[in-house]
Each structure stands twice: as C-alpha cells, then as structure tokens.
Amino acid sequence: AQSVTQPDIHITVSEGASLELRCNYSYGATPYLFWYVQSPGQGLQLLLKYFSGDTLVQGIKGFEAEFKRSQSSFNLRKPSVHWSDAAEYFCAVATNTGNQFYFGTGTSLTVIP
Amino acid sequence: ETGVTQSPTHLIKTRGQQVTLRCSSQSGHNTVSWYQQALGQGPQFIFQYYREEENGRGNFPPRFSGLQFPNYSSELNVNALELDDSALYLCASSIPGLPTDTQYFGPGTRLTVL
C-alpha cells in the first residue's frame, strides 16, 4: 500500500540556518512526489514536484528536494531559512495513474530570530 | 493566488445530519479532488472527479459522495454525520492534461460536528 512518512513532527531552526525536512514514501512503481506548505488558516501551496528526470528539483521560495530511489526518500531543503517560512510542510505521493494521492502527517516548522 | 474557492468557510452540524460543501475550480480545470484534514493530521484523499465522473477514491465510506458539474464546480456530500467527521475539508483542482499535474487548493471548509 502507498504511504508517506514524515518522521519529524516539529522542527525549530534559527533564522538564516539551513533546513532539511525528511520524507519517506512507500510505493511500488515510480512515484510522483510533491511538497506542499500550509500556513495557518490557509490552503496548501505547492512548493515543488518530482515526476521524472533530474533527481534534484527546484521549487519556489528557494526550496529544493532530492529524490533518492534507493532510500525511498524525497527530502526538502533550504540553505537559509526566513522567518516567513514558519508553517506546516506536507510531503505527498501520487500514483502514476494520477487518481490517488497520499499525504504525510506533516512537519511543523518554527523559526526563531 | 489559486482561484479555487470553497463555501461555506465554517459550518456547524449535529450528529446524524447531512452536509453539502461546495468548490469552485480554477478556470479551465477539469479535475477536482477532495480531502479531509483532521486537526494535526495531513490531508486524507476522499475522491477525485474528472469530467464529471468519479476517477478515484480513498478509504472513505459511501456516505461520502460527490458531484462534478459541467462547469467543473463540485460538491462533497456527507450523510449521517459522525463526530469524527469534524475536520477541514479541502478541494483541489488541476489544469487540463495529466491528472497528476499541479493541484491548486482552496482555503477549505471547517466542519464541526456536535
């Protein structure tokens, strides 16, 4: 069965520090992978996605993610965090038929000055 | 700005009642997906509609049903409400083409079941 695991429920980083949010997936075929961000009271905004090709993908707001098939991982990174990055981050996997989506439980990011 | 709108913003119902939530897709999007997000959890996929037909379903009972209209707006109906149905309900629409193309989410409807 398909599933997504985000091992870190909550992460705190200092402004300007680097960030890595972990995501592991379980899916039998080539996955379609996504990272979304959700601010309080807001819907989900797509940060980046991976379908195929280059395993390092660039997204909006300076985020990037690397797909590692051997580790079934799709970790999100940012070299320097800004206070406005404080939010909830969700990793998701879609089936290759595109009609089933699975989200992780999310990682809450706090940024301290 | 996504262009996906949902109504109402908040809703309070009692156990056993029925509820209808509405979603207006972004212009030109022919695929809409519905999700349930319980407090502190990630969104759970309910179902997807593509050109007015159900195109995929998550692990939700039949009392969760949906419709998609010719203008691609959509409804989520939940019958016999239970306390555990209290959640944020999100809809997301997709641009034409591959179903796995970018999903644009609405702000959600907060449903409280008492």
- Gap between the Cα atoms of B111 and B105, Å rounded: 17
Measured CA to CA, the distance from residue A20 to residue A63 in angstroms comes to: 10
Residue ranges of alpha helices (H) inside chain A are none
What was the pLDDT predicted at B97?
Answer: 56
Q: How far apart are CA A69 and CA A63, in angstroms?
A: 20
Euclidean distance between CA atoms B62 and B58, whole angstroms: 11
Interchain contact, B42 vs A103, CB within 8 Å: yes
**pLDDT for res B38:** 94
Smallest CA–CA separation between A45 and chain B, in Å?
7
pLDDT above 90 (res A80):
yes
Residue that the structure tokens 């402004």 belong to:
A15
| CB within 8 Å of B108: residues ≥ 6 apart | A43, B6, B37, B88, B89, B90
Of A46, A103, A104, the CB nearest to B102: A46
**In this structure, are residues A99 and B55 in contact, taking their beta carbons and an 8 Å threshold?**
yes
Interface of A with B in 65-104 (CB under 8 A): 90, 92, 94, 96-104
**B contact set with A (CB within 8 A):** 2, 4, 33, 35, 40-45, 48, 50, 55-56, 58, 90, 92, 98-100, 102-108
| Nearest-by-Cβ selection for A106 from B42, B48, B100 | B42
pLDDT in tens, chain B (114 residues): 458 999 999 999 999 999 999 999 887 788 899 999 999 899 999 999 988 899 889 899 999 999 999 888 999 999 999 999 999 999 998 875 555 567 888 999 999 999
A46 and B103 within 8 Å at the Cβ level: the answer is yes
- Contact criterion met (CB below 8 Å) for B90 and A101: no
pLDDT value at position B1?
46
pLDDT in tens, A47-70: 999 988 889 999 999 999 999 999
- Answer yes or no: is pLDDT of A7 > 50: yes
Residues of A with Cβ-Cβ distance to B88 under 8 angstroms: none
Is the previous residue joined to A40 through a cis bond, with omega within 30 degrees of 0? no
In this prediction, residue A29 carries a pLDDT of 77
Whether residues A101 and B45 touch (CB distance < 8 A) is answered with yes
CA-CA distance, B106 to A113, in Å (whole number)?
A: 31
